[in-house]
Structure 1
């Protein structure tokens, strides 16, 4: 989806599954975060794909322990019922200390089928 197909929305109007994932990821609750995904989901973080719940679980566990950081939801956009973007600011002890990331969600059957995380 192209960015011009998205419209700005209030962050609290994101789908329940997106909010559930973001909250679980923010508190490093891997089991709750993984429950937001379809069994065949794909996550692409920093250009690296993680396919299936086993790979996504490993990625979540690794990202939870690599650095200490906090997250804050700073914005949200919607293209249609299945395509959403959540903007988050991460602050922590990683190189640079602060980063704004876009979490691009594609949903299927009220679960996350694809998540792309990028600046």
Structure 2
């Protein structure tokens, strides 16, 4: 069910704000210790692996993200569509950030077109 962007749980809003400014420490604070991120065909499990992934993605390209839509897809699941523009191949893409929360933190995040 579609929801307003300002109705997202604080954990998701906080992560997206930190992600937009590439504040890795703030991004990591929103994950469970055993969280999993799936992005670009790779799975990153645990805070150390997620930190490595974040460092790599923020250093590989310069980009901006703009949230364009949000929906609640389950009791603990939310999807946020982000418009991404930058110096990566293709230059623009709309990505779906599919969040699963546990105890007010991100347990699982899948990023895909």
**The TM-score by the shorter chain falls in which range?**
over 0.9
Residue matched to 2:70: 76
Residue matched to 1:18: 12
1:18-45 per-position Cα deviation (integer Å, ceiling 9, x unaligned)? 0101110110100000000000000000
Among 89, 105, 111, the residue aligned to 1:95: 89
Between the two proteins, the alignment pairs up a number of residues equal to: 113
Separation (CA, whole Å) in 2 of partners of 1:81 and 1:33:
22
1:24-79 per-position Cα deviation (integer Å, ceiling 9, x unaligned)? 01101000000000000000001200000000001001111100011100000002
User: So what's the TM-score if we normalise by structure 2?
Assistant: 0.98
* Residue 102 of structure 2 corresponds to residue 108 of structure 1: yes
The Cα RMSD (Å) is 0.7
Residue matched to 1:58: 52
Separation (CA, whole Å) in 2 of partners of 1:54 and 1:62:
12
Among 38, 41, 44, the residue aligned to 1:47: 41
Structure 1 residue 81, shift from structure 2 partner: 3.4
User: So what's the TM-score if we normalise by structure 1?
Assistant: 0.93
